[in-house]
Amino acid sequence: MVAVMYRLSKIVKQKFTYQDVLDAYPALDYEGLYGVIHTWLEQDLIEPVKKSGMTSFRPAVYHTYKKVIKPSDYSMYTKEIESLHPKLNIGRYLSHPKDYVRQREHIGLFSEFLWEKEAEIGMQMSVNEKSFVIWGDEKFLDSGEGRKLLAYNRFALEDLGCYRTPEPYFSTVYDWDFRGHAVIIIENKDSWYTISKVMKESPKKQLCGIPVAMLIFGEGNKATRANGIRKFLQDYPLDDSPIYYFGDIDVAGLDIYARVVEANKQLEIERFMPGYKAMIEKAKGRTMRPTEDMRKLSYPEVFLVGFSPAEQAVIQNTLKQQRRIPQEILNYQDYIRLCG
């Protein structure tokens, strides 16, 4: 009955959202929507785009799906494959068009980057930073799908100018005097490592014009342990050194910042405003990816204080749409400029 009443052909787009199904069939409620999508999945007509995440209503469905291309349809992709950048494995994709269809979204972005910015492919960045530059997803390159795409096209991480970051435990970088210089807690490993790397190379030892004495890798939620930061810093001659927090702009990142402040009440931990502003500036005009954190977290509205109305709008829209601006939007090349 479902197959007869609700035909996939009414959905025009190759990649579509659950809302597109509701728009095509206004009489459907969420339970009926689940039944239709489940039927299409059973018939191998569609497959979920798992990175899009699942809805909060029950029964839950993925936000986005794509139609399964049948073998007889692969010929429609021949010209598309032939237009890929010549450094990619065009011959193999022509021989195995199913592989191309499976990798189409990501190989398309890779090809586009090579055509437009081939000279920048070898520029030094961490794995996550380069992944964001090319695919807009800081985690893609180090995923199974990302590694397979590189191997398929005979690329190594070194060909992309990527460097690996170590697995430190609440690590710090300090090889200069404090004397009122800042301590910055950095949420994510790649950003901590990259800033540390640039700071060591920079004679000024400044980030966004602020003299820095120490960089701390907060390891996400680890920095929220009761008095963890305070105890870690108690043996250092902080004096009048300001302490800043710098992390992702999403509900989870803002929640971590609020809990770091709450867990270390004896310290005055401020937001690292110039870093956040640089992230917002680079995010303008881009559609950021959905957050993978499906928890219903609130965020401290005080976080918005000090940002311009335009910057506040970017933050609020990002949070409202359950999207994220990751720290990795700023990469090694950006920090060379910000530390210069």
Render pLDDT for 270-291 as a digit per residue (tens, 0 to 9): 999 999 999 999 999 888 988 8
125 and 199 in a single domain? The answer is no
The total number of structural domains that make up the chain: 3
Question: Which structural domain range is residue 198 located in?
Answer: 172-338
Span 96-108, pLDDT tens digits: 998 999 999 999 9
pLDDT top residue among 53 and 232: 53
Q: Do 154 and 253 fall within a single domain?
A: no
Report pLDDT for 168.
Answer: 43
DSSP assignment letter at 171: -
Q: What is the pLDDT of residue 201?
A: 86
pLDDT tens-digit series, residues 137-158: 999 998 989 999 999 999 999 9
Report the Cα–Cα distance between both ends of the chain, in Å, rounded. 66
Q: Where among 68, 86, 114 does a domain terminate?
A: 68
Q: For 60, phi and psi rounded to 5 degrees?
A: -80, 150
Distance (Å) of CA 306 to CA 110, 184, 242, 264, 270: 37, 18, 17, 22, 11
Mean pLDDT of 233-250: 86
Separation between Cα atoms, residue 118 and residue 129, nearest integer Å: 17
| Rounded Cα–Cα distance for residues 29 and 11 (Å) | 17
pLDDT for position 317: 92
Identify whether residues 76 and 63 lie together within a single domain. Answer: no
User: Percent helix, strand and coil across the chain, each rounded to 5?
Assistant: 50, 15, 40
